[in-house]
Structure 1
Amino acid sequence: MAGVTLNNVIKRYGQVQVIHGADLDIQDGEFVVFVGPSGCGKSTLLRMIAGLEDISDGEIGIGGTVVNDVEPADRGTAMVFQSYALYPHMTVEENLSFGLRMNGNDKADTNQRVKNAAQVLQIENLLERRPKQLSGGQRQRVAIGRAIVRNPEVFLFDEPLSNLDAELRVQMRVEIARLHSELGVTMIYVTHDQTEAMTLADRIVVLRDGRIEQIGSPLELYHDPVNQFVAGFMGSPKMNFMAAEIVDHTADTVTLSLANQHGARLALPVKQIPSTTHVTLGVRPEHFLPAGQGDCDLNLKVDVIEHLGATTFIYSGTKTDEQLIVERDESENDDIGGAVAAAIPAGRCHLFDEQGKRLT
């Protein structure tokens, strides 16, 4: 097993820089997930660790050794791609053993590795089948098995579940979490799905435009985001953002007037007073309280209702730039076009300045 370090890693394509000085220290046996919107550089970063992309500057270390000039096959990594890339004319057993056989690995050792991988992934009964006879989840297990038989020090996953339907994604998330627990090896996982990140990761790396915005545990990022981007990206449904203006302040408290809520006012403790009066208030859907139980009441028009069993989400302002989502108990009766009252608890709010920096 081995840890992975990135030291001021930069990637350029011609004159265009797509990774801007990434620094990261992944511990031996840790499960780290790269998340961010499409085009943020997460897959590029993963491919540079694998050696499939050259780095323009900086250093990548695996197991304490700088691997900038080491061939991909010699880095001790194994990659699982979004596409299964299985050989259709081969059985599952042949797909699993192909790489080892091509490298001249001992036959008895190869058979044992295939057997062990099949047991870990619970696909022993599929070894004689061909890919066309497998479901999507079974094919993904085989793709992961090809990585396992190499006995890598680091597993690299590039959006491995994006081709599966919702139910299979949930099942495979559980399988990958179990796999990490059993093998105890370092895993780096790329996804745009923050739910996958929250459920799988020991730590999450949030990227935007080729820069690392924040690194932390799932709950650290959820409850303590450093800026508005991270706050809005982590969580489903996402955090509500409301335009506000500072109308009064003391040394450590500001009083806000909510721009689109008829001047409703809310007092918040802050770490620093911003230089401008225009700010953004953030509140997660589940943190709204019944009217009269918080620090500022809002009266909202019900535009859309989502019933999800024990939880209901009320959407207000869907035709404006400031859509608000309120989580409600499923027993409450709300009608589209009607009104819903909710209260903001000051202690559960976040405040951001015009640059998106968190102030609370």
Structure 2
Amino acid sequence: MAELSLNNVVKRYGALEVIHGANLEIADGEFVVFVGPSGCGKSTLLRMIAGLEDISGGEISIGGKVVNDAEPTERGIAMVFQSYALYPHMTVEENLSFGLRMNGNPKADTEQRVRRAADILQINELMQRRPKQLSGGQRQRVAIGRAIVRQPRVFLFDEPLSNLDAELRVQMRVEISRLHKQLGTTMIYVTHDQTEAMTLADKIVVLRAGNIEQVGAPLDLYDDPANRFVAGFVGSPKMNFLPGKVIAQGAGGVTVQVSNEAGATITLPVSSTVAVGSEVALGVRPEHFGDAGSGDADLTVEIDVAEHLGNTSYVYARMAGDIPLIIERPESRHSTHQQQLTVSIVAARTFLFDSAGARLR
């Protein structure tokens, strides 16, 4: 079993604390993605799991065994880095087998493992090539193959697709997802790209400034974000935030005046107690805007740019007060620069956040 547990894990560099008491449970065979902006601590957390960074406090356990003081080679993990780190003078076959050969693994078993990895990754025809003769995607498959031959209990991926072009990233995401289903091994994947997180993960861990903000299945985070940071980070294009002021609260919920929009008020089904006069933010995803009159409050916006992507368009616009909005429209071929557009927001699909970014429910 390769379940993994973090119990109040802390990382300090001198007086600077960069990971603040992380707690996390990862089930055996689960695909977990650490996601967050640059500098949030996701790679540091991964390196502590791998044993490449000492922990300053707390416990890390793999398969029920505390591994705080265990060497990386004793943890049953294999890591795939952003840089492929292949030996340029070796063939693909030699790169795949090198670690096993250095550990004195029996030759027959090494050959069997290498063949299996090559079959899984469909790189049999590349075995006698050297890294300089491979494309970026082929090199990344070899790097993953080098991890597979070790037959680890846990795979760790540290932004493995960052060096690939957009089309190849999509292809490799599919291959990594297929690999996980085929092997059934616990995988932890670090990325700053929330699209990778949404498409790959069984469970997403959203980090900010060394703290775990929320943990959950991709669509759970999308549909029910814990705070404004998670709401704005998960989803592409990102959520819109409209400033507002609370003007009433009653049995029906909280009534908000949308700032700078004369007459635009909306009552949200929120039971949290919010003081009248409080500044709040309404979160609306681009795809949740409706046609004028179809929702609970209408907004008239000025279009700056419209991106036409075939059956969908993204309208980049400004509401009163020069507040930017992104609005998804089906086949909005008519949208032009400086055109006004009236859209509607629906109370049931609108999130409410207080001035500190906490979710009001």
Please give the TM-score of this superposition, normalised by the length of structure 1: 0.98
SS for the counterpart of 1:302 is strand
1:174 aligns with 2:138: no
Helix, strand or coil at the partner of 2:141: helix
User: Match for residue 335 of structure 1?
Assistant: 336
Take 1:157 and 1:319, find their aligned partners in 2: how far apart are those partners?
Answer: 44
Amino acid aligned to 1:116: R
Which residue does the alignment assign to 2:61? 61
Distance change >3 Å, CA 242–CA 319, structure 1 → 2: closer
Is 2:12–2:56's contact at 8 Å kept on the other side of the alignment?
yes
Q: How does 1:133-148 map to 2 (within 5 A)?
A: 133-148=133-148
1:154-165 alignment, distance < 5 Å: 154-165=154-165
How big is the shift at 1:319? 11
Q: Which moved more, 1:340-349 or 1:267-276?
A: 267-276
Determine if contact 1:303/1:318 at 8 Å carries over to the other structure.
no
Correspondence list, 1:242-253, <5 A? 242-253=242-253
- Rounded to whole Å, the distance in 2 between the matches of 1:221 and 1:162 is 24
Residue 270 and residue 287 in structure 1: after superposition, are their counterparts in 2 closer, same or farther (change >3 A)?
Answer: same
* Equivalent residue, structure 2, for 1:33: 33
Amino acid in the other structure paired with 1:190: V
* Paired residue secondary structure (1:87): coil
Aligned residue pairs, count: 360
Please say if residues 304 and 316 of structure 2, whose CA atoms lie closer than 8 Å, have aligned partners that are also in contact.
Answer: yes
Quickly say closer, same or farther: Cα 1:300–1:257, change in 2 above 3 A: same
Answering whether residue 225 of structure 2 is matched by residue 225 of structure 1, we say yes
Contact kept, 8 Å, 1:252 with 1:273, in 2: the verdict is no
C-alpha deviation, 1:309, in angstroms: 1.6
User: 270-279 or 122-131, which moves further after superposition?
Assistant: 270-279
Could you tell me the TM-score, scaled by structure 2's length?
A: 0.98
- Distance (whole Å) between structure 1 residues aligned to residue 162 and residue 328 of structure 2: 28
Does structure 2 conserve the Cα–Cα contact (< 8 Å) formed by 1:288 and 1:344? yes
1:279 maps to 2:267: no
> Which residue matches 2:325?
324
1:222/1:316 CA distance change after superposition, 3 Å: same
Report % sequence identity: 68
Deviations 1:100-123 (A, max 9, x none): 111111111111100000000000
Distance (Å, rounded) in 2 between the aligned partners of 1:158 and 1:319: 43
Query: CA deviation digits over 1:241-279, x for unaligned, max 9?
Result: 010001111145111111132351111110212246110
SS of the residue 2:55 aligns to: coil
Matched with 1:345 is 346
Q: How does 1:1-360 map to 2 (within 5 A)?
A: 1-275=1-275, 277-317=278-318, 322-360=323-361
Q: Distance in 1 between matches of 2:198 and 2:321?
A: 30
Asked if the contact 2:92/2:128 (under 8 Å) is kept, the reply is: yes
Q: Residue type matched to 1:229 in 2? A: F
CA–CA distance in structure 1, aligned partners of residues 261 and 70 of structure 2: 59
Task: Please list the CA deviations of residues 298-323 of structure 1 after superposition, one character each: whole Å capped at 9, or x if unmatched.
Answer: 11000011111211000112997631
Structure 2 letter corresponding to 1:311: T
2:81–2:157: 8 Å Cα contact kept in structure 1? yes
Counterpart AA for 2:343: A
Aligned residue for 1:115, secondary structure, equals: helix
Equivalent pair of 1:251/1:273 in contact (CA under 8 Å) = no
Tell me the secondary structure at the aligned position of residue 189 of structure 1. Answer: strand
Residue identity in the other structure for 1:147: A
- 1:5-56: CA deviation from partner (whole Å, max 9, x where unpaired): 0000000000000000000000000000000000000000000000000000
Contact 1:248 1:254 in 2 (8 A): yes
CA distance in 1, matches of 2:219, 2:142: 32
Secondary structure at the aligned position of 2:24 is classed as: strand
Distance in 2, matches of 1:118 and 1:322, equals 53
Q: Distance in 2 between matches of 1:187 and 1:318?
A: 43
With over 3 angstroms needed to count, the CA separation of the structure-2 counterparts of 1:161 and 1:319, relative to structure 1, is farther
Unmatched 5+ residue regions in structure 2?
A: none
- Is 1:252–1:272's contact at 8 Å kept on the other side of the alignment? no
Code of the aligned partner of 2:19: I
CA distance in 2, matches of 1:280, 1:74: 49
Q: Give, as a single letter, the amino acid of the residue that structure 2 aligns with 1:156.
A: L
Distance in 1 of aligned mates of 2:177 and 2:243: 40
List per-residue Cα deviations over 1:85-106 (Å, max 9, x = no partner): 1011110000000111111111
C-alpha distance 321-192 of structure 1, shift in aligned 2 (>3 A): farther
Please state whether the residue corresponding to 2:243 is helix, strand or coil: strand
Which amino acid letter does the alignment assign opposite residue 154 of structure 2?
V
CA distance in 2, matches of 1:157, 1:339: 46
Question: Which whole-Å CA distance do the structure 2 matches of 1:261 and 1:156 have between them?
Answer: 49
Separation in 2, partners of 1:153, 1:260:
56
Distance 1:318 1:48 in 2: 46
State which drifts further: 332-341 or 177-186.
332-341
